[in-house]
């Protein structure tokens, strides 16, 4: 399974963190520090796989963002690269030409999308369209509710 997924900028600023196992807050911070240090130190044409403690670390850089995940030792690293890529494609489909700012200003959306793609550290849906449709539907549901709420308020209903 995937143990964690981190997104951080070239300056080491965290943009998203998803943890799939219970870890104390202090240790999370340490892991983030270790990952950012290790990954940012890598030379441009290095291989995308690292070893850290008993985990395999797979990372990929997309423009100004590093996508970095920690996996159990029996996971397939090449497939993990595909997983990261799939997530980026989903973000791109949603935001249209996604860039780092999208993820900064709409971080909760980035999480929602992730939660439709991965569950409990495993891939839950292998079809891009199904994931995108689910997100759209959820968004619609949310908007519909907001509209009706506003409507309630306008009418002065409690």
Partner 1 sequence: MAEVMLPLWFSHEAKELYSNQSIQEAADQDMSPSVRLQEMIRVIRGARTQGEERGVIQRECAAIRAQFRQADNGTRSHNLAKLLYVHMLGYPAHFGQMECVRLIASPRYNEKRVGYLGAMMLLDENQDASLLITNSIKNDLSHSSQYVQSLALCTLACMGSAEMCRDLAPEIDRLLRASNSYIKKKAALCAVHIVRKVPELGELFTPAARALLSEKNHGVLHGAVVLITELCERNIDTLEQFRKVVPELVQIMKGLVMSGYSPEHNVAGISDPFLQVRILRLLRILGRNNDTASDSMNDLLAQVATNTDSSKTAGSAVLYETVLTVMDIKSESGLRVLAVNILGRFLLNNDRNIRYISMTSLQKIVQTDHNAVQRHRGTIVDCLKDQDASVKRRALELSLALVSAVNIRSLMKELLLFLSSCPPELRAHTASGIFNAAERYAPSQRWHIDTILHVLTTAGGDVRDETVPNLIQLITTATDLHCYTVHKLYRALVTDISVQSLVQVACWCIGEYGDLLLTGECEETEPVQVTEDDVLDALETVLQSHMSSPATRGFALTATMKLSTRITHNVDRIRSIVSIYGSCIDVELQQRAVEYNALFKKYDHMRAAVLERMPVIDKSSPGHTNGESAGGTIKEMEPTKLTNELVLPKEPANQVCDLLDLLGGPGEPLHPTPAPSNTVKGPVMSTSGGDLLDLLGGLEVTPAPPCVKVYEKNGVTLKLQTDKQTDTGMNITLTATNSTEADITSLTLQAAVPKSVQLQMKAPSGDVIPAHGLGLVTQTVLLNNPNKVSLKMRVRVCYTSQGTLCQDMVQIDSFPSPTW
Residues engaged in binding partner 1 (CB under 8 A): 14-17, 19-20, 22-24, 29, 43, 45-50, 62-65, 74, 76-79, 81-83, 85-86, 88, 91-92, 97-102, 104-105, 107-108, 111-112, 115-116, 119-120, 122-130, 134, 137-138, 141-142, 145-146, 149, 153
105/8 Cα distance (integer angstroms): 14
Dihedral Cα 77, 79, 85, 88, nearest 10 deg: -90
Name the minimum Å distance from CB 152 to partner 1. 9
Q: Which one, 34 or 107, has the nearer CB to partner 1?
A: 107
Q: Token digits for 52?
A: 């850290």
Q: Token digits for 151?
A: 């409507």
Q: Which one, 50 or 68, has the nearer CB to partner 1?
A: 50
The answer to whether the beta carbons of residues 117 and 123 sit under 8 Å apart is yes
């Amino acid at each position: 399974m995937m143990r964690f997924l981190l997104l951080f900028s070239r300056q080491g600023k965290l943009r998203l963190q998803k943890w799939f196992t219970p870890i104390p807050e202090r240790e999370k911070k340490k892991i983030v520090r270790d990952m950012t240090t290790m990954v940012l130190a890598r030379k441009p044409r290095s291989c995308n796989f690292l070893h850290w403690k008993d985990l395999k670390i797979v990372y990929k850089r997309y423009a100004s963002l590093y996508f970095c995940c920690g996996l159990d030792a029996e996971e397939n690293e090449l497939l993990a690269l595909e997983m990261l890529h799939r997530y980026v494609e989903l973000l791109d489909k949603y935001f249209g030409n996604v860039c780092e700012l999208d993820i900064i200003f709409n971080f909760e959306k980035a999480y929602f999308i992730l939660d439709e793609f991965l569950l409990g550290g495993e891939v839950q849906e292998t079809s891009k369209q199904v994931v995108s449709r689910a997100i759209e539907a959820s968004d619609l549901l949310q908007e519909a509710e907001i509209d009706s709420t506003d409507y309630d308020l306008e009418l002065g209903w409690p």
